[in-house]
Amino acid sequence: MKIVVIGGTGLIGSKLVTRLGEHGHEAVAASPNTGVNTLTGEGLADALVGAQVVIDVSNSPSFEDTAVLEFFETSTRNLLAAEAAAGVGHHVALLVVGTERLPESGYFRAKIVQEKLIENSSIPYSIVHATQFFEFVRSIAEAATDGGTVRMAPVLFQPLAGDDVAQAVGRISVGSPLNGRVEVAGPEQVRMDEFFRDALAAWNDPREVVTDPHAPYFGAELGERTLVPGDGAILGETRYSDWPGRTAAGK
């Protein structure tokens, strides 16, 4: 089947395009780099001709509150309208575990808007909520850095490998629409402060990880289970200790 991957040249999108192609599907990478812009609508109608499924793994180029809201609201509206016109039968979107529990963050408020637009559209859909990716561990540490320290809350954390995200999203995309949500997470739950203490040690990073129950996470304070899934989540197979990028992630 023809599957269009919005954000198909990015981290997860490129993995999806490769994986779906290996399974015999016509996987099309759609992004500004390939002439498809969901904000302006450029190239969108042509890309969706003959598509049965659209997977949206795109992300905002800016995390500033107004910009990120404009991105997800405008691009999602444009995408859903183009899908309706093209007769697409399944919209799959990748969102974040805990989105609804982080309303203090402008980024997560924008993701809530994206999700509501999908749920209220006429397109059958599947929403995948994933925990944080191993590949983003470095940027999370950078965002939490204060001088020579990294301030982390002692809350539960269950990240997963990008390859495991792509596998789960790919399988869901070729199945029947869920018209609901499913959660995807890593195989291990750990305390966030302990995880980053071990991660920085593996990078030979001299920064000190400080345990701070009030440490913000992209502008929001975390509860014990804010970032972890509920029962029934799909669990990835890759442990962080076995992930090939574990030490390189700090470079």
Q: Where are the domains of the chain?
A: 2-250
Reported as a single tens digit per residue, the pLDDT across 179-188 is 999 999 999 9
Q: What number is the average pLDDT over the span 137-156? A: 95
Give the CATH architecture of domain 2-250: 3-Layer(aba) Sandwich (3.40)
**Share above pLDDT 90 across residues of the chain, in percent, rounded to a whole number:** 90
pLDDT band at 144 (very low <50, low <70, confident <90, very high): very high
Helices (H) and strands (E) in the chain, counts: 7, 14
Cβ–Cβ under 8 Å, residues 209 and 200: yes
Cβ–Cβ under 8 Å, residues 19 and 166: yes
pLDDT band at 177 (very low <50, low <70, confident <90, very high): very high
pLDDT band at 248 (very low <50, low <70, confident <90, very high): low
Cβ–Cβ under 8 Å, residues 106 and 69: yes
Strands across the sheet containing 53-56? 26-30, 2-6, 53-56, 90-96, 125-130, 180-185, 234-235
* Amino acid 61: pLDDT: 87
* Amino acid 123: pLDDT: 97
Backbone angles phi, psi at 23, to 5 degrees: -95, 15
As a residue count, the chain comes to 251
